[in-house]
Amino acid sequence: MAAINLSQISTKADKDLDKKKTKEKTAKLIEDLNDLQNLLYAENKHSLLVIIQGMDASGKDGAIKNVFGHLNPQGVTVKSFKAPTDEELSRDFLWRIHQHAPAKGAIQIFNRSHYEDILITRVHKWCDDETAAKRMKAINDWEELLMQNNHTHIIKFYLHVSPGEQQQRLEERKTNPAKMWKYNENDYKERELWDDYMKMYEDAFANCNKPQWNIIPSDQNWYKEYLIAEKVYDTLKNLDMKFPEMKPKQSM
């Protein structure tokens, strides 16, 4: 896999892409995803782990709501990982993560994830490079464990937003009553470390790439949601799942 240079990847859709038609395609994909989720649940052989990473205001919450919000809530769980608690810090960094690995038949979504332990921790120098290398190996081993032992299919998304678009979205949180609850002054301080974050993300992409990362241009929500829906649909469709047959009647 070629090294990923985020500065060379556009954060927007191609100019000739039709927004209306793309949104119609997204709606159809989500409709089909509902059927595939029911099949996943019924067959009970596979599970899906969707990891969503991105800078503040890259649209993680909106992507989860608009792509997965129409699916059966019995089969979809979302876990948002915040700063670790004292109890979590007293254990290995994957302890709090592994508790939320998906069961067979389920879709589990991580809003941020175990990757924070090699991203923000390195940017702020809470984790040195040697420790980060060990953590990346542990992450690879853990993801392989899920894929090999539990038939878990992992999709990793990085929501690629531009600094300019992020600035607009952060400013909107000051003026839009529906978004003021998201305002966090610390987001502006983290923004000053943009280049450091990009470096650490690129290092994560290079060293934790099985499965590979999907870099999602995220300046336009309609395009971001289309790409995510398409990838999830293709992943589930390619499992070639079938509804189980009726169980034979047991004799008394």
pLDDT digits (tens, 9 = 90+) for 90-129: 999 999 999 999 999 999 999 999 999 999 999 999 999 9
Rounded Cα distance, 114 and 204, in Å: 11
Indicate whether 59 belongs to any domain: yes
Please check the confidence at residue 41 and state whether its pLDDT lies above 90: yes
- 3-state DSSP call for residue 111? strand
Indicate whether 248 belongs to any domain: no
Q: Kindly indicate the confidence band of residue 1, based on its pLDDT and cuts at 50, 70 and 90.
A: low
Q: What is the pLDDT of residue 135?
A: 98
Quote the percentage of the chain above a pLDDT of 90.
95
Please check the confidence at residue 249 and state whether its pLDDT lies above 80: no
Q: What is the pLDDT of residue 251?
A: 63
Please check the confidence at residue 147 and state whether its pLDDT lies above 90: yes
User: Which of 34, 69, 45, 80 shows the shortest CA–CA distance to 241?
Assistant: 45
Domain count along the chain: 1
Q: Compute the average pLDDT of residues 195-199.
A: 98
Q: Kindly indicate the confidence band of residue 195, based on its pLDDT and cuts at 50, 70 and 90.
A: very high
Q: Compute the average pLDDT of residues 170-190.
A: 94
Q: Compute the average pLDDT of residues 158-169.
A: 98
**Using alpha carbons only, what angle is made at residue 99 by residues 97 and 101, rounded to the nearest 5 degrees?**
75
Indicate whether 12 belongs to any domain: no
Quote the percentage of the chain above a pLDDT of 70.
98
Residue 228, CA distances (Å) to 41, 66, 72, 93, 190 in order? 20, 10, 18, 28, 26
Q: The tokens 């923004």 sit on which residue?
A: 191
Indicate whether 250 belongs to any domain: no
Q: Name the residue range of residue 97's domain.
A: 43-237
Indicate whether 97 belongs to any domain: yes
- 3-state DSSP call for residue 141? helix
Q: What is the pLDDT of residue 2?
A: 77
Please check the confidence at residue 212 and state whether its pLDDT lies above 90: yes
Q: What is the pLDDT of residue 69?
A: 96
Indicate whether 26 belongs to any domain: no
45: left (phi over 0), alpha (psi -120 to 50) or beta: alpha
CATH number at residue 204: 3.40.50.300
Could you list the beta-strand ranges (E) of 17-151.
47-54, 76-80, 107-111
Indicate whether 105 belongs to any domain: yes
Please check the confidence at residue 246 and state whether its pLDDT lies above 90: no
Indicate whether 245 belongs to any domain: no
Mean pLDDT over all residues of the chain?
96
